[in-house]
Amino acid sequence: MTAHSPTAGEGCGLSLRQSLLLRCTAEHLRARQDGGGDGQANIAAACAHCNALRHRARDPLSPLAFAAHVQHR
């Protein structure tokens, strides 16, 4: 996961597409629309790829399970 510009991955042998998928995003564990806030306990750093997949899943991971998944990766 990278917090730098998308082109920063080029020095590591990553394509622009790969760099975009691995960029760091702030993921709300419990969505704001579901009562989650912007506090530190409700935010996890996740790569854009994991963040997008979580929202596309038929049965998305619970906030705690997603936090554990991100920590493991």
CB 9 within 8 A of CB 28: no
φ, ψ of residue 32 in degrees (nearest 5): -60, -35
- In this model, does residue 9 exceed pLDDT 60? no
pLDDT of residue 39: 93
**Cβ contacts of 12 within 8 Å, gap of 6 or more:** none
Long-range contact pairs involving 54-60 (C-beta distance under 8 Å, separation at least 24): 54/27
Which H helix or E strand runs over 26?
Answer: strand 24-28
pLDDT of residue 70: 80
pLDDT digit string (tens) for 25-72? Answer: 888 988 888 899 999 999 988 888 888 888 788 888 888 888 888 888
- In this model, does residue 21 exceed pLDDT 90? no
